[in-house]
Chain A
Amino acid sequence: MQVTLKDFTKTFDDMTVIDKMNLTVEDGEMLALLGPSGCGKSTTLFAICGIHRINGGQILFGTRDVSNVPSQKRNVGVVFQNYALYPHLTVSENIAFPLSVRGDDKAKIEREVRAIAELTHIEELLARRPAQLSGGQQQRVALARALVRKPDVLLLDEPLANLDAKLRLEMRSEIRRIQLETGITAILVTHDQVEAMSMCDRIAIMNKGEILQIATPTDMYRAPVNKFVAGFLGNPPIVMLEGKASGDGRFIVNGGAGLPLPSRLANIPGDTPLSLGVRPEHFGAAGASQVSGTITFVEPQGRETLFDVTLADGVVLRSIQPAREDVALGHKVAWPLDAEKLLAFDATGQAV
C-alpha cells in the first residue's frame, strides 16, 4: 500500500516540529527515515499510525485519506523502540492480541499465530512471558505482533537500537527478509546510517523536521544534495575543506595550497566560495593527482586501516585503505587523490 504525506504539519504546544512535509512511500517499498536525534522521525511515524493527531496536511494510505481515522482503524503494524510487549500476557497471547481484540475465532487466531511465529522463528517461545525473553527474542515477538494481522503498512521505530552489535547485524537481515517475503510497505526509523543503507530500498534523510533528500542508498552516498547529507552518511565521515575556486579548475583551501576539482567544475569562476568534501576512500587508492603529506594518525580497524595525513599547509585528509603496515606514524607519503569523485558544495551548502 502506498503511503503519502501531503504537507504534513505537526506542532507540540507552540513548537512546530514538522512543517509541511511531503513524502511518498511506494507500495512494497522499505523506506528509511534517517536523521539525528530529535529531528522528528518518531513524530512522523506516530502521525502515520495515528498515535499523534496531525495539525495540518493529509496522510493517504493508497487513495484513502486516513488523516482523521483513529489508529485502531488504520491497520498499521508498529514495532516500538522498547518493543512495548504486554508483560502480563504470554508470547502467543501478545501476538494474538490484534486478532483477539478484532474478535477472530480461536482456531483462526491459533493458525495465524503459528504461521507468523514460524516466519519470525519464535515457535518455541510461544508459552513464555516477555520477561523471560532476551532482547533479540522480544524484538522478534514485537515484529510478529505487528505483522500478524497483515497490516497495510509496517512501521519500525528504531527496532534495533537496544540490541548488541552482533544481534543487530542478524536482525537487520532478518527484518529485511521478512519484509521482502511479505511484500509489505515498511517505514524504518533510525539514526544509524548503516541500518538505513543496508535494510532499505530508499532513504529519506531528515534534519530539523525537514526531509532533505530521498534517494536510494547508493545514490545518496554518491551524490548527496547538501553538506549535511554528505556529512551524515559515511563512516568514517567525510572531510570537509573550506575554500574557494581558483578559476583554473583547482580549489584553494583557506590559507593554504590547492587541490584539484572534479572536471565537471572546471569552468567555475575564480573566487567562488566552495566546500570540498573528501571521503576517506577517495584518497590513497587511485586517481590522477598525487598529494603528499605526513601521517599523523593511524587507526587499525582489522580489515582496513585509517590514516590521517597532514599536508604541508596544515590541511588534514583522511584515508582508508586495506590493512597495511608498510607505513607508520610520521612517515612522509604521496598518495593519489581521486579528484573526479570529490564532492563540492556552494556557500549555502548545496551540492554543485
Chain B
Amino acid sequence: MRTRTSLLGLGFVSPALALLFAFFLMPVVLTTVFAFTNMSTATGITGGSHVITGNLLRDLGNAGIDNDVITALGEASFSVTSETLAAAADAGVEPRFLGEIEARLMGQNFEDARSFESALKSLPSRPTRIRELKLATEPFERSILNTRYASRADMEAAITSMAPDAPAETISTIAEASYTGWRWIDGGNFQTLLDRPETIRIVLNTVFYVAATLAFNVFVGLFLAITTFYLPKTGAGFFSVLWLLPRITPVVLYAVMWKWFTWDNGFLYVIAEQLGLPAFNYMKGSVPTAWATIILVNGFVGASFGMILFSGALRAIPIQQLWASEVDGASRWQQIRQIILPQLRWPILFVTSYQTLSLLSSYEQIWLTTNGGPGSTTTVWALEAFNTALNNYTGNLEYGMGAAMALILVAVGLVLSILYLRMFRFDELVNKPRIEF
C-alpha cells in the first residue's frame, strides 16, 4: 500500500519534475559544464580534429620543443604515391605527363621543391611553361602543416613520418596540442577572470548598477504607491497605467525612445541647448550621464513593479487603521512613517530581493542603450558575459568563458536567494501560523 501511494505520488509529480529539470536545472547544468571548457567558435561545440598550424609550431617552439623537430614539421616534401597521383589527376595535370611521372618516379621522395622540379624537368612530356610545371608539383607536396587529421593516431603517424627521430613523448605532446576541438581546462576560465584587470572594474560597475537601480526602484515605487494612494481614485488609475508603460512597451522600442530622448539633437539635447546648458549625447557622451541614463531606463521599468506591489499592500491595510491614526493625532508624515511603512516591510523586502536577482542578470537595456560605454565604464557582469559568449565583434565567441561568467552570476544569485529565503522564513517563524494542523 505504502509503495503504491508513493509511486502514485511520483507519477503525479513527474511532469513537474521533468519541467523543473528541462527548464530550470538543465541550463544551470549546461552552464556549469561549459564553464570548465575552452569552447569557442574556433573549437566548435562538437568534437574537433588535429591540425598543426604555423602559429602552433611557434608556440610549441616557445614551449621548449626540440628545434629540429619543429623544423622538420615545418618542412614540406614531395612524394609520388598513388594518392598524390590521384590528387594530381584531380587537379587537372596533363594525363600523359602524369603517366610519365607514375612510370619513372613512383615511390620516390624529394626533400624540397627544387629537387622535385628538376626531376620533373627531365621528363619528356613536361609542360613548357615554368608556371604550369610549378602548378603540377603542388599536388605532390606533402606537408603536415595545415593538414587535418581526423584522429590523434593519424596525427601521431604523420608527425613520425615527418620527424622520425622525435622522441615518443614529444610526438604525443605535439599531437595533443594540435587538437582543434574544445577541451576541459579545469578552472582556467576562472583563473583568467581573476588575472584580468577589467574584472574588478566590472564587478564594481555591477554592484553600483544593482544598488543604484534598486534604490531608485524601491523609492520611486514607494513614492508612487503612496502618492497614488492619497490621490482621488480616478486619477490613481490613470497614473498606474502611465507608470506601467515602460514595462509593457517592447524593450527595443523603449530603448529607442530613450535614444531619441538623450542623443545628439534629441529632446534633452535641444532643451539643454535652448537653456544654454551643456548639450551632448547624454547616453554615451560622459560617464555620469551614461550611468544616469542606465539607472533611469532600468529604474522606470522596475518602479512600476514596486508600485503595483506596494499599492496592493497599501490597500490591504484597513482604512479604519488610517482613520484611527488620524484621530489619534498623527500627521500625514507620521501616518506614513509609523503606520504604513512598517506594514509594507515584507513587500519592500520582497521587491528588493526579487529586483536584486533580476537586475544582476539583466543586460538588455544596457546593451540597447549605452552598450557598456563610454569605453567599458558602464559594462556590467551580465553584459560582459553576453558579449563574451554571444556577441563578440571579433567573431570568436567564447562560450566557455561566457559560461564561466554566467556561472559566477548563478552562484551569486543562489547565495542571495538563500539569504533572502531565510529572511522570509524568519518572518514565518516569528508569526506563528494561523492555521494549525
Interface residues, chain A, with chain B CB atoms under 8 Å away: 46, 49-51, 70-78, 80-82, 84-89, 97-98, 101-102, 131, 145, 149
23 contacts between A and B (CB under 8 A): A50-B326, A51-B323, A71-B323, A71-B327, A72-B326, A72-B327, A72-B329, A78-B323, A78-B327, A80-B323, A80-B324, A84-B321, A87-B343, A89-B342, A97-B325, A97-B328, A98-B328, A101-B329, A101-B331, A101-B334, A145-B324, A145-B328, A149-B328
The reply on B128 being an interface residue by CB < 8 A is no
CB distance from B60 to the nearest CB of A (A): 71
Query: Would B343 and A78 count as touching, CB distance under 8 A?
Result: no
Contact A72 to B330, CB < 8 A, known contacts A82-B318, A86-B321, A86-B325 = yes
Interface residues, chain B, with chain A CB atoms under 8 Å away: 318, 320-321, 323-331, 334, 338-339, 342-343, 345, 431
Q: Which residue of B lies closest to A76 (CB)?
A: B327
Most central of A80, A84, A89, A98 by chain B CB within 10 Å: A84
In the complex, what distance in Å separates the CA atom of A210 from the CA atom of B324?
26
In the complex, what distance in Å separates the CA atom of A81 from the CA atom of B319?
12
In the complex, what distance in Å separates the CA atom of A57 from the CA atom of B320?
25
- Contacting residue for A86 out of B323, B326, B329, B339, CB 8 A: B339
Q: Which residues of A contact B330 (CB under 8 A)?
A: 72, 97, 101
Query: Would A102 and B329 count as touching, CB distance under 8 A?
Result: yes
Given contacts A86-B321, A145-B324, 13 further A-B contacts (CB under 8 A): A50-B326, A51-B323, A73-B329, A75-B329, A81-B320, A82-B318, A84-B318, A84-B320, A88-B345, A101-B325, A101-B329, A101-B330, A149-B329
CB distance from A303 to the nearest CB of B (A): 38
In the complex, what distance in Å separates the CA atom of A99 from the CA atom of B325?
11
CB distance from B347 to the nearest CB of A (A): 13
In the complex, what distance in Å separates the CA atom of A77 from the CA atom of B345?
28
In the complex, what distance in Å separates the CA atom of A85 from the CA atom of B323?
11
CB distance from A25 to the nearest CB of B (A): 17
Query: Would B329 and A84 count as touching, CB distance under 8 A?
Result: no
Q: Which residue of B lies closest to A97 (CB)?
A: B328
Q: Which residues of B contact A73 (CB under 8 A)?
A: 329
- Contacting residue for B327 out of A74, A85, A86, CB 8 A: A74
CB distance from A283 to the nearest CB of B (A): 45
Contact A84 to B338, CB < 8 A, known contacts A102-B329, A149-B329 = no
- Contacting residue for A49 out of B318, B327, B342, B431, CB 8 A: B327
Contact A84 to B324, CB < 8 A, known contacts A101-B334, A101-B338 = yes
In the complex, what distance in Å separates the CA atom of A81 from the CA atom of B331?
23
Q: Which residue of B lies closest to A157 (CB)?
A: B320
3 interchain residue pairs of minimum CB distance: A84-B320, A98-B328, A84-B324
Contact A101 to B323, CB < 8 A, known contacts A87-B343, A88-B342, A88-B343 = no
In the complex, what distance in Å separates the CA atom of A52 from the CA atom of B318?
17
CB distance from B289 to the nearest CB of A (A): 41
- Contacting residue for A77 out of B327, B339, B342, B343, CB 8 A: B327
In the complex, what distance in Å separates the CA atom of A76 from the CA atom of B334?
18
Q: Which residues of A contact B321 (CB under 8 A)?
A: 84-86
Q: Which residue of B lies closest to A148 (CB)?
A: B328
In the complex, what distance in Å separates the CA atom of A145 from the CA atom of B329?
12
Q: Which residues of B contact A74 (CB under 8 A)?
A: 327
Q: Which residues of A contact B320 (CB under 8 A)?
A: 80-82, 84
Q: Which residue of A lies closest to B341 (CB)?
A: A88
In the complex, what distance in Å separates the CA atom of A229 from the CA atom of B343?
45
In the complex, what distance in Å separates the CA atom of A81 from the CA atom of B325?
15
Query: Would B327 and A51 count as touching, CB distance under 8 A?
Result: yes
Q: Which residues of A contact B329 (CB under 8 A)?
A: 72-73, 75, 98, 101-102, 149
CB distance from B433 to the nearest CB of A (A): 12
In the complex, what distance in Å separates the CA atom of A183 from the CA atom of B345?
41
In the complex, what distance in Å separates the CA atom of A136 from the CA atom of B342?
26
In the complex, what distance in Å separates the CA atom of A82 from the CA atom of B317?
13
Query: Would A131 and B431 count as touching, CB distance under 8 A?
Result: yes
In the complex, what distance in Å separates the CA atom of A71 from the CA atom of B325?
10
Most central of A73, A81, A87 by chain B CB within 10 Å: A87
Contact A78 to B324, CB < 8 A, known contacts A98-B329, A149-B329 = yes
In the complex, what distance in Å separates the CA atom of A295 from the CA atom of B396?
104
Q: Which residues of B contact A102 (CB under 8 A)?
A: 329
In the complex, what distance in Å separates the CA atom of A101 from the CA atom of B338?
9
CB distance from A53 to the nearest CB of B (A): 12
Q: Which residues of A contact B331 (CB under 8 A)?
A: 72, 101
CB distance from A226 to the nearest CB of B (A): 34
Q: Which residues of A contact B339 (CB under 8 A)?
A: 86
Contact A50 to B342, CB < 8 A, known contacts A84-B318, A86-B321, A131-B431 = no
Q: Which residues of A contact B343 (CB under 8 A)?
A: 87-88
In the complex, what distance in Å separates the CA atom of A88 from the CA atom of B345?
10
Q: Which residues of B contact A51 (CB under 8 A)?
A: 323, 326-327
Most central of B321, B323, B324 by chain A CB within 10 Å: B324
In the complex, what distance in Å separates the CA atom of A162 from the CA atom of B330?
27
CB distance from B319 to the nearest CB of A (A): 9
CB distance from A127 to the nearest CB of B (A): 14
Q: Which residue of A lies closest to B337 (CB)?
A: A101
Q: Which residues of B contact A76 (CB under 8 A)?
A: 327
CB distance from B168 to the nearest CB of A (A): 78
Most central of B318, B327, B338, B342 by chain A CB within 10 Å: B327
In the complex, what distance in Å separates the CA atom of A98 from the CA atom of B338?
12
In the complex, what distance in Å separates the CA atom of A98 from the CA atom of B321?
13
Most central of A80, A82, A102, A131 by chain B CB within 10 Å: A80
Q: Which residues of A contact B326 (CB under 8 A)?
A: 50-51, 70-72
In the complex, what distance in Å separates the CA atom of A97 from the CA atom of B339?
10
In the complex, what distance in Å separates the CA atom of A99 from the CA atom of B343?
21
Q: Which residue of B lies closest to A132 (CB)?
A: B432
CB distance from B329 to the nearest CB of A (A): 5
In the complex, what distance in Å separates the CA atom of A79 from the CA atom of B343?
21
Q: Which residue of A lies closest to B334 (CB)?
A: A101
Q: Which residues of B contact A89 (CB under 8 A)?
A: 342
Most central of B318, B325, B328 by chain A CB within 10 Å: B328
Q: Which residues of A contact B328 (CB under 8 A)?
A: 97-98, 101, 145, 149
In the complex, what distance in Å separates the CA atom of A102 from the CA atom of B323?
16
CB distance from A19 to the nearest CB of B (A): 24
Q: Which residues of B contact A72 (CB under 8 A)?
A: 326-327, 329-331
Q: Which residues of A contact B325 (CB under 8 A)?
A: 86, 97, 101
CB distance from B349 to the nearest CB of A (A): 14
Q: Which residues of B contact A80 (CB under 8 A)?
A: 320, 323-324
CB distance from B324 to the nearest CB of A (A): 4
Q: Which residues of B contact A86 (CB under 8 A)?
A: 321, 324-325, 339
